[in-house]
Structure 1
Amino acid sequence: MEKALFLYSSREGQTKKILHYIEEELKDFECEVMDLHLVDEIDFTHYDRVLIGASIRYGHLNKKLYQFIGKNLKQLQTHNVAFFCVNLTARKEDQGKDTPEGSAYIKTFLKKSPWQPALIGIFAGALYYPRYKWFDRVMIRFIMNMTGGETDTTKEVEYTNWNKVSLFTDKFRNL
């Protein structure tokens, strides 16, 4: 049985939820899931595939992701490693915001990162207003108002396109 390592950087849990969905889809793999924020270095040779998922918050990926990339660059470049980004802008599939070419976040990531993943996915996240602290709720509502999104702070809305996640999983399986 092949082994896969899943690393995630998540604020509200949607990135981790997506990884668990992928894990369910990869029944032919033994999968290990780890919080990227708690990992410094890992020996990738123990795994046939590695998948890193990270979420955007206030327009940025967590700095721990870039630190991990810096410490593990050689392994990232020489092993079967894929990357996906979770953000609310990707809900605008009709505008191509859910593609590497149309995602401003991925363009920024590829400029800042010395690692250039061969396989990249972009998935819409979820809006969990009732779970946010007051400041985050106000800021995210402001951003959603500017971008034409949900502004009712009593709602939780999941924008993730699970069919798209399944298609990405098939590509990851064959990486």
Structure 2
Amino acid sequence: MSKALFLYSSREGQTKKIFQYIDKHLADFECDVIDLHTVGDVDFSTYDKILVGASIRYGHLNKKLYQFIENNLKQLESTKVAFFCVNLTARKEDQGKDTPEGSAYIKTFLKKSPWKPELIGVFAGALYYPRYNWFDKMMIKFIMSMTGGETDTTKEVEYTNWEKVALFADKFKEL
């Protein structure tokens, strides 16, 4: 059985939820799912493939992702590794915001990161208004009002396109 390492950077849990979906989709893989923020040293040689996923908050990926890349660049470049980004802008599939070519966040990531993954995915996240603190709730509501999104702070809305996640999982399997 092939072995995969899933490293996630998530704020409210949607990135981890996407990993759990991919794990079920890759039935012929044994998958270890680890929080990128707490992972120590990783021996990449014990895995056939690595998948890194991170969410955007207020326009940025978590700094710990970049630190992880810096500390593990050599291993990332010598292993079958893919990356995906989760953000609310990707809900605009009709505008191509859910593609690496159309995602401003991926463009920024590729400029800032010395690592250039061979497979990149972009998935829409979820709005969990009731779970946010007051400040985050108001800021996200403001951003969503500017971008034509949901502004009812009593709602939780999942924008993730699970079919697209399944297609990405298939591509990851073929790496």
Fold in common (TM above 0.5): yes
Given the two structures, how large is their TM-score scaled by the length of structure 2? 0.99
- Give, as a single letter, the amino acid of the residue that structure 2 aligns with 1:120: I
1:129–1:156 CA contact under 8 A, matched in 2: yes
Cα distance in 1 for partners of 2:93, 2:44 equals 33
Runs (4+) of structure 1 exceeding 6 A deviation are none
- Give, as a single letter, the amino acid of the residue that structure 1 aligns with 2:66: Y
Q: Residue 105 of structure 2 corresponds to which residue in structure 1?
A: 105
Unaligned runs of 5+ in 2: none
Unaligned runs of 5+ in 1: none
| 1:4-43 paired onto structure 2 within 5 Å | 4-43=4-43
- Give, as a single letter, the amino acid of the residue that structure 1 aligns with 2:89: T
Cα distance in 1 for partners of 2:24, 2:32 equals 12
- Give, as a single letter, the amino acid of the residue that structure 2 aligns with 1:65: L
Percent of residue pairs bearing the same amino acid type = 79
**Is 1:130–2:130 an aligned residue pair?**
yes
Shift of 1:54: 0.1
Cα distance in 1 for partners of 2:130, 2:53 equals 24
Cα distance in 1 for partners of 2:29, 2:104 equals 32
**Is 1:152–2:142 an aligned residue pair?**
no
1:8–1:34 CA contact under 8 A, matched in 2: yes
Q: Residue 169 of structure 1 corresponds to which residue in structure 2?
A: 169
- Give, as a single letter, the amino acid of the residue that structure 1 aligns with 2:71: K
Q: Residue 89 of structure 1 corresponds to which residue in structure 2?
A: 89
Cα distance in 1 for partners of 2:56, 2:83 equals 13
RMSD of Structure 2 on Structure 1 (CA): 0.4
Shift of 1:40: 3.2
1:41–1:68 CA contact under 8 A, matched in 2: no
Shift of 1:23: 0.1
Cα distance in 2 for partners of 1:39, 1:116 equals 21
Shift of 1:39: 1.2
Cα-to-partner distance string for 1:40-84 (whole Å, 9 max, x where unaligned): 321100000000000000000000000000000000001000000
Given the two structures, how large is their TM-score scaled by the length of structure 1? 0.99
SS at match of 1:115: coil
Cα distance in 1 for partners of 2:147, 2:43 equals 41
Cα distance in 2 for partners of 1:161, 1:73 equals 30
Cα distance in 1 for partners of 2:34, 2:40 equals 11
SS at match of 1:3: strand
SS at match of 2:114: coil
